[in-house]
Structure 1
């Protein structure tokens, strides 16, 4: 059976039990549970399993709205008239996701983003209603009223995220969580499994070193020891990374990093021509503003790679950012040197040679061809950087 579908009934049972616990027997037995964007035959592991839950009546009608229960940090009560909401269950087998503080990180980032975008009407950040303390449970959020996906991310949203003053309790780069007093503080980065870091540069150095350790156990890459590539990589990590970051201006700045700021994660109401939601904070964290341009905006203005924006919509995107004076690659001195470091990081663990789902779908010949092509690209990058 497909790895995603193996526990399908177990997830439904978990949801029914959770509804029984929070809203009573009627809600549990009569609720409608609809999987969202779920393909039982998908060859790729889902990061989360997402469901729309529709209750037979608002929880408050049966006196089960839990309004007097202590709330966890970052959550708000379910509105009295709510009958529908979204439930996300994290997939413990998701590729490249680390369980430590994963749920807390996402809820904390949503709290920060909600504060940053509080002036937007309608509100574009989902409200977290509860965070069940269970290894499978992610969180409940209010149902989002988007009609269709947006065609271009709004520069106003990016501007608000950049300008937001982070709480002084967030002292480092990386993930965020809640401390015992409910303050948002720094923690490990969900997509990396390590951190936090005092310096933006340290984030890259740590990730490069971890990538090399992972490359050591990959049967195709074998640590990039062939042809002397590994020694060149180690020299780059040791002396090249610090040199690259010297050119980055304002390198101590921190901002909310969404990590997947694309049309797929924007909901749009055609009748009002307004974005109604920015969703999916799975990889979100706190990093330098440059990193959003290195990892986001695919299909929506382009990522910044190899010293340029990699998308034909770049001119339109640049004009929109310039209109609002958003901090962007053209105004970030030194971003091209950081982009080079990020390019090396991407090349050490090429997706088509390391992702377990992709490997199953390719022949040995194709995998080895991809590996050799990637080595050539990596060697070219290192030569360009003087290593």
Structure 2
């Protein structure tokens, strides 16, 4: 799948670097690439070794800077049109969000984390691409596993500091709505569609979650197992809930401030300097958008545990309640749940806006879980559909249906 057009992509990279940037390149190497991976990559990444810089007169684009004369290595990202992400403002959103994150961290000791952008091309009218700074470091998820237990909290505290800077950042006046960002004709950042939905921008959280729900319903139409949830009138109930029931759940969430949301803030997207044990980069802004501080906890930190679902039991239910309502002295966890608790202790230390401090967070977390269940990955993606028997898929569908009906009945639909 991913190896199709491999040579064609390399030819595009060589041509782009030579013609657009007048760079003499000694080597181009794929990053984190597996030709046999059964899942489509969102982007193809290349490490570019630069031998010589030529003189070029390329106009500087919005939110970009000039390549330093001593830059010996760069990174080029190519958008993968087969990933399923809509091309509309996809590159523009990533470039713009990187700029907002860079501004958010500018006055902190993490000002160096966000790669500089040296040029970009829209995916809407052809091959999308971003040429950016190469950051030194190793993936934090790999390094974290090698650390002694007593050194791990310090890493989590650095992540907490970054998150707090994101939450405190005041958005430019030109970005007035929820969703993604794009560029006006004069090059200023403005509100734009949410790239994962190709919809928006949105005036309210109700509009945002209606778009999310509708996308999931549309995805369920394409599943041979779900068939759009036409059975037993579920489809009609979903649509009625979207029109009449969503506002009751999102109204408490509307009091949350707007914030930049990375939407994939995990250790895998963080680099660290092994010698200093300091974070050296935050990467991958493909899904970033303007939302609420609470949205980050619904979409990120899964390697730390995330927020357990509303159908959790036992210790997971206990920690879900602690996350949503606050940790107390009676909350002591071990193993993976202990790591999750350590993460929240780091957040509390830096006065982060955690879920327990955000109005309507419990209701919105239930809604988010419900929407994801409308078209779960196991029942919509080709790979799990091929690898599981009909009996297995029917069992997953039955459990999913039970979850959907319980939520709809709880809210009077």
TM-score of the superposition, structure 1-length normalised?
0.91
1:55 and 2:44 are equivalent in the alignment: no
Q: Which range moved further: 165-174 or 201-210?
A: 201-210
Distance in structure 2 (CA, Å) of the matches to 1:222 and 1:133 = 34
1:171 and 2:176 are equivalent in the alignment: yes
Match of 2:263 among 259, 265, 277: 259
Does structure 1 retain, via aligned residues, the 8 Å contact 2:181–2:193?
A: yes
Does structure 1 retain, via aligned residues, the 8 Å contact 2:77–2:130?
A: yes
Distance in structure 2 (CA, Å) of the matches to 1:176 and 1:36 = 27
Trace 1:107-146 onto structure 2 (pairs within 5 A): 107-121=95-109, 123-132=112-121, 135-146=126-137
Distance in structure 1 (CA, Å) of the matches to 2:242 and 2:254 = 20
Give how far 1:295 is off. Answer: 1.1
TM-score of the superposition, structure 2-length normalised?
0.85
1:38 is aligned to: 33
Distance in structure 2 (CA, Å) of the matches to 1:143 and 1:44 = 25
1:248-302 per-residue CA deviation (whole Å, 9 max, x = no partner) reads: 3624x21111000110001011211211111000100111111111111101252
Give how far 1:23 is off. Answer: 4.7
1:327 is aligned to: 353
Distance in structure 2 (CA, Å) of the matches to 1:379 and 1:247 = 23
2:376 is aligned to: 350
Count of residue correspondences:
374
Match of 1:149 among 116, 140, 145: 140
* Unaligned 5+ runs, structure 1: none
1:27 is aligned to: 24
2:245 is aligned to: 240
1:289 is aligned to: 293
Instruction: Provide the secondary structure at the position in 2 that maps to 1:238.
Output: helix
Q: CA RMSD of the aligned region, Å? A: 2.0
More helix by share: 2
Give how far 1:320 is off. Answer: 1.0
2:67 is aligned to: 78
1:204-243 per-residue CA deviation (whole Å, 9 max, x = no partner) reads: 0122123223323432112212233233323322222111
CA 1:133/1:293 → structure 2, altered by over 3 Å: closer, same or farther? closer
Q: Which range moved further: 224-233 or 40-49?
A: 224-233
2:13 is aligned to: 15
Does structure 2 retain, via aligned residues, the 8 Å contact 1:45–1:357?
A: no
* Unaligned 5+ runs, structure 2: 145-155, 311-319, 325-335
CA 1:6/1:107 → structure 2, altered by over 3 Å: closer, same or farther? same
CA 1:233/1:92 → structure 2, altered by over 3 Å: closer, same or farther? same
Q: Which range moved further: 76-85 or 313-322?
A: 313-322
Match of 1:101 among 82, 89, 94: 89
